[in-house]
A and B are shown apart, each in its own frame.
Chain A
Amino acid sequence: MSGTFIGMPAFPVAAREALDNAQQRRNLQHATQTIRDKRAAVVDEVDRWEELRVAGAAIKDHVLTHLDGYLVQLEESLTRAGATVHWARDAEEANRIVTALARETGTDEVVKVKSMTTQEIGLNEALEDAGIHAWETDLAELIVQLGRDRPSHILVPAIHRNRAEIREIFLREMGKVGTPAPEGLTSAPHELAESARRHLREKFLRAKVAISGANFAVAETGTLVVVESEGNGRMCLTLPETLISVVGIEKVLPTVADLDVFLKLLPRSSTGERMNPYTSTWTGVTPGDGPQQVHVVLLDNGRSDALADHVGRQALRCIRCSACLNVCPVYERVGGHAYGSVYPGPIGAVLNPQLRGTESPVDKSLPYASSLCGACFDVCPVRIEIPDLLVHLRTRVVDEKRGGLPSGEQLAMKGASWMFAEHTRWERAQRGAELGGRVLGKKDSIGRLPGPLSAWSDARDAPIPPGESFRTWWKRERGQG
């Protein structure tokens, strides 16, 4: 996956740093609350939202169960329509294919439509290494790129930035790579937008090659679909001579009619809009109109591994709407960077360990980056049971550690399980707590505790065990069980 994220610390450590950033936390709180309210309002307008969710999940599940057939059909349709299809097993292969295709055109720059898939494979960095500049044209991606920052949200990559910070970045960086921001730029939204428009217009008009992802790929017709808000995508998809689209293999839909369901689910879930401003569809090459060279790179990069997991595969239903990020109390406080991936938040916590495996410290820690409150499932337009998947992946992380030297946690869990397996053992342990409670006597709580328990007691007082358990009371009062 993206080189940018290699060497990320485990989630709790990254989270601690993020929690200390008061400005970022304020920005995140404000932004997620705004999108959350907008989404709730437009979802409430739809009478049969639940039926739509069920339909979306069913279509995706059907595709995932028959993915081999639909991918072959997609390749045939795309080829018939004049596109060239490439298959990429992993990030490296995809980057190599795209870099070679860009090189063949003789260009040293490409314009990009915002695309999670190309972020996932670290395409910009790979192109840069090959001497090709990749210009992001989505406003938020532009802010992230100019700020030499990393995206912090799937839909709103610069969610952690406020207007004053964006103004600073534009003034400082735009001139270095193209049309500079006007002197006297203020942080008024229309001025910032105008400055980005002028900067990008020059790049659109000059570019020979564009790179996109796709929200959906229709197997029946070979049609790719991009859903966006700013029109920059439309510019990239129509102006250049060559178009290269990097598409995850899970994006396939059987027919054009299936778009009906997803174009209702996606905008309401992601931006809280009834419909997004621009939906572009393109099917291969149309002579004399739009790009005359169209390449589609179909990317696996761990998706087959996720698919092989009968429980976990539902994560591949994800349509990248980011509704789960906006309602997640953990994401709201720590932001996207702590997740060590372009896929942050609840979906990132399940998707990354599935795509990348659970070897690295960050991927081991991600399934635990949730209080399992369940808010993510309630808003997911394709009903991904994220809390269940988190527990499923925690089991995988724990099981992978078995067999070696047991950790303190493993010993504690094994010991507690042994104790609870027989009520007589449990009663003996309980008597210890009762004794402790009687020793501590009338205090109403315990302050700071030593060792691993300090994780609890650094900020929270702990209750004192009572001198008599319920069980002891019951036996005394009722004389039996």
Chain B
Amino acid sequence: MRVALFATCFNDTMWPQTPKAVVTVLERLGVTVEFPLEQTCCGQMFTNTGYAREALPLVERFADVFGAYDAVVAPSGSCVGSIRHQHGTVARGCARPALAERAEAGARNVYELSELLVDVLGVTDVGATFPHRVTYHPTCHSLRMLRVADKPLRLLRAVRGIDLVELPGADQCCGFGGTFAMKNADTSVSMGSDKARHVRETEAEVLVAGDNSCLAHIGGLLHRQRAGVRVLHLAEVLASTERDFAADQELGAVASR
């Protein structure tokens, strides 16, 4: 099976280890991964801040670059949510009905990582080993826009050596919310502090989620608090194997990011 990877602009630049991990997991499962270099950004930041006109060229580009693929995967629930739920609306709002239809048809083949693995490839055990105490935060867009339900948890439960603990108030928003984190910084930090407190209560070593932007927010708070909790994208946990762990132990830095 051929799958196109949409790395997302943020992951491409700030967290390259996440799309790398997606490649690792998919190739381990025998999937051929393509990375169309013409890709840029899904436009979510523009759309959600009210800049639909600025998002339009990116909606069009996404449809041009990815429209022909049978399956596209992205390691971000919120970007996939925006592609699936907003691209058509943006195009229609800018009086581009033909583009709206094309974007909506293309979006049907775009999957968040856990959806691709569980629904399309039919796999829950991806052959990962991750011997750590882990808690999982279901990001709002995965949870409510994509309705991924317990797919990420099913994938995590199948990871060897993992000690998966429940996060109190897991379905509460962490307060990132894109530009909300800047425009309403005080409220955002207040929400994030409660999330960070819940994470600490679990005594987990690692907080896992399917969106690095939410993790950057919660992780940024935890780091400022010197909480000693690392944040890690789901893809990176799923990419870890016994061999990585042994090598890391030698270096004395367990899967450091």
Residues of A within 8 A of B (CB): 11-12, 15-16, 19, 329-330, 333-334, 367-375, 377-378, 388, 391, 393-399, 409, 413-414, 416-417, 420-423, 426, 430, 433, 444-445, 447, 452, 455-456, 458-463, 465-466, 468-471, 473-475, 478, 480-481
Contacts and interface: CB of A to CB of B under 8 A. Distances in A.
A369 B35 contact: no
A463 B40 contact: no
B242 to A, nearest CB: 23
A330 B187 contact: yes
30 contacts: A11-B184, A12-B184, A329-B191, A330-B191, A368-B180, A370-B180, A372-B140, A373-B173, A373-B177, A374-B141, A391-B48, A394-B50, A417-B43, A417-B54, A420-B9, A422-B40, A423-B39, A433-B14, A445-B223, A456-B182, A459-B193, A460-B189, A461-B220, A462-B220, A470-B20, A471-B7, A471-B35, A471-B37, A478-B35, A481-B34
Contact of A375 (B11, B16, B55, B173): B173
B12 to A, nearest CB: 5
Contacts of A459: 185, 189, 192-193, 221, 224
B12 A372 contact: no
A481 B186 contact: no
B145 interface: yes
Chain B interface category by residue count: 35 or more
B47 interface: yes
A412 to B, nearest CB: 10
A323 B50 CA distance: 26
A397 B51 CA distance: 10
Interface in B187-231: 187-193, 216-217, 219-221, 223-224
B57 interface: yes
Nearest to B49: A394
A373 B58 contact: no
A277 B58 CA distance: 54
Contacts of B55: 417
A333 B180 CA distance: 15
A228 B173 CA distance: 32
A370 B184 CA distance: 9
Contact of B93 (A333, A375, A395, A417): A395
B149 to A, nearest CB: 13
Contacts of B223: 444-445, 460-461
A330 B46 CA distance: 22
Contact of B50 (A11, A369, A395): A395
A421 B183 CA distance: 25
Contact of B187 (A15, A422, A426, A458): A15
B161 interface: no
Contacts of A374: 140-141, 143-145
Interface of B: 7, 9, 11-17, 19-20, 34-41, 43, 45-55, 57-58, 61, 86, 89, 93, 140-141, 143-145, 171-173, 175-193, 216-217, 219-221, 223-224, 257
B220 A329 contact: no
B50 A15 contact: no
Contacts, number: 194
Given A460-B223, A474-B35, 19 more contacts: A12-B187, A333-B190, A369-B184, A372-B140, A395-B93, A399-B50, A413-B49, A413-B51, A413-B54, A416-B45, A426-B40, A430-B12, A456-B185, A460-B192, A460-B224, A461-B224, A463-B15, A465-B14, A466-B16
Contacts of B37: 423, 471, 474-475, 480-481
Given A329-B191, A333-B187, A371 B216 contact: no
A367 B144 CA distance: 19
Contact of A391 (B14, B47, B183, B185): B47
Given A413-B49, A420-B57, A474-B35, A15 B186 contact: yes
Contacts of A480: 37
A456 B175 CA distance: 12
Contact of B175 (A329, A465, A471): A329
A411 B2 CA distance: 39
A421 B56 CA distance: 9
B13 A469 contact: yes
A393 B13 CA distance: 31
B51 A417 contact: yes
B23 to A, nearest CB: 8
A458 B185 contact: yes
A12 B40 contact: no
A333 to B, nearest CB: 5
Contact of B191 (A371, A399, A445): A371
Given A462-B220, A471-B12, A473-B16, A329 B186 contact: no
A139 to B, nearest CB: 30
Tell which of B11, B20, B89, B183 has the most Cβ of chain A within 10 Å.
B183
Contacts of A456: 181-182, 185, 220
B205 to A, nearest CB: 16
B57 A417 contact: yes
Contacts of A395: 50-52, 93
Nearest to A33: B169
B54 A416 contact: yes
Contacts of B179: 368
A469 B8 CA distance: 12
Contacts of A423: 37-40
Contacts of B9: 420, 426
A409 B41 CA distance: 18
A463 B223 CA distance: 10
Nearest to B212: A463
A421 B58 contact: yes
Contacts of B173: 329, 371, 373, 375
A12 B12 contact: no
Given A372-B180, A374-B141, A397 B220 contact: no
Contacts of B41: 420, 426
Contacts of A469: 12-13, 16
B180 A460 contact: no
Contacts of B19: 470
Contacts of B145: 374
A-B complex: 4 closest residue pairs judged by Cβ atoms: A371-B177, A394-B50, A481-B37, A460-B220
Contacts of B93: 395
A460 B193 CA distance: 10
Contact of A420 (B58, B144, B180, B181): B58
